[in-house]
Amino acid sequence: MKIEITNQGKWYNSLTLKIVLLAVLGLFLLIPLQMIKEVIEDRQANAEKVQTKISSEWANKQCFIGPLLNIPVRTVSPGDQSKTITQIWHILPAEMILEGEIIPGIRYRSIYQSVVYDANLKIKGHFLVPPGLALPGTEILWNQAYYTVGISDNRGLKGDILMHVGTWTLRAEPGVKDQDIFKSGISFAETELEQQLEPGSTVAFDMNISLAGSSGLQITPLGKKTRVRLQSSWDSPGFEGSFLPVSRVIDKNGFTADWEVTHLNRNFPQDWIGNAFHPEESSFGVQLVQPVDHYQKSWRSARYGILFIALTFLVLLFVEIRSKKPIPVIHYVLVSLALVLFFSLLTALSEQLGFNAAYLTASGATIVLITAFTARVIKDKKIPWLVFGLLVVLYAFIYVLLTLNDYAFLAGNIGLFLILAVVMGVVGKWSLTSPPKTLEA
């Protein structure tokens, strides 16, 4: 329906009506946008299930705790003097130095992938054997002493593991002899180990461990003085836990990170009896982060959906006023449906092609579709090219926002401010010119 415009006031009233109708249309489009976001979340949940499955078959995220010196002690039962109780006296290293190389890899299942790794750990240090326990009626069973190392998932252990203690070489045995501190790991014992454990003596140790895991690695600082260095070719680490690195280098070739922790930084002593403390609560380490994966980017793009639609409507509105050829509201509806379909298409393609190629394909198809549709409606040779150029700029702007992690909010605000400035400049010129003669609602 064509409305004849006899003065500028009527023209602005008709334009206002169309803007209101487009605003209402935009609000209705929030419903399919929300449905698409739910689809993306469902696909992401499926991917996480597959990643969990891969991790469970390879080896889960690892936490390394150890080594500890464990000595059984026998005390008289407080309730019955005729009975004795055997507990474990846990002694932590006076110094612990760990150097680790994390070799990352990607495992695939169908269209999904998960980050795994092989870690080569070198651990050395020394124990200071206490002179004894200041507990009357306590018998220290030196001849039953053993060492333990906590590994959160023993399936990741590779090859034989030897621990050099003083002049002895001890071979690892599966499992832990007690579960006061950790539930799984390996043990080292020797019938003549007590010969190395003279009260007040220093016992040096070193060992190498090859360990497989998934997504991340954590270390528990057991030493009175603990120094840890981890390095990897993975270029997007996420440091986590109770302590952050004192120094780190991250570049395209990977990362190197160093930690230094003393006994004063922790909430547990150097030795205790039983399960009074839980050292794993002070663990720290690194997560092998996959920077903004395609599901996150697709979800963020859908979150910007109303911005896509509003700016595209703005482009078409400018074209309508500039060309003085009205665009019916039903055509705006069809364009908005193409925009909504873009997000679903982007998610589907990103699972197969990766996000960058999927965005290029989906945005290119959407831009061509809207441009061709505009050409049929406007029937002008120049206007479709203007629409094409503006849409390319719009989709490029949104792509930049999606690829930026830390600066997306800043870039988005700057971009919107510039868009607003352009709109204000253009609208300011319109007020000085004659409005179009007709406008179709």
148-174 in b/e burial notation, b at 16+ Cβ within 10 A? bbbbbbeebbeeebebebbeeebebee
Under the banding of pLDDT at 50, 70 and 90, the label for residue 129 is confident
**CA torsion sign, 395 to 399 to 400 to 401?**
positive
Q: Which segment of 159-173, 182-196, 199-213, 235-249 scores lowest on mean pLDDT?
A: 182-196
Q: Which helix (H) or strand (E) holds 375?
A: helix 355-378
pLDDT tens readout for residues 384-408? 888 888 889 888 888 888 777 677 7
Average pLDDT, the chain: 83
Antiparallel, parallel or unpaired: β 225-232 and 95-109 = parallel
Cβ burial of 236 (10 Å; 0-12, 13-18, 19+) is middle
> pTM for the complete prediction?
0.73
Would you say residue 374 has pLDDT above 50?
Answer: yes
Domains and CATH numbers, the chain: 2-45+295-440 (no CATH), 61-291 (2.60.40)
| pLDDT value at 258 more than 70 | yes
Q: What percent of the chain has pLDDT over 70?
A: 88
Beta bridge partner(s), residue 91: 69, 271
Q: How far is CA 389 from the centre of its chain?
A: 35
Q: Tokens for 59, please give them.
A: 């080896």
Q: Which of 82-91, 106-115, 409-418 has the least mean pLDDT? A: 409-418
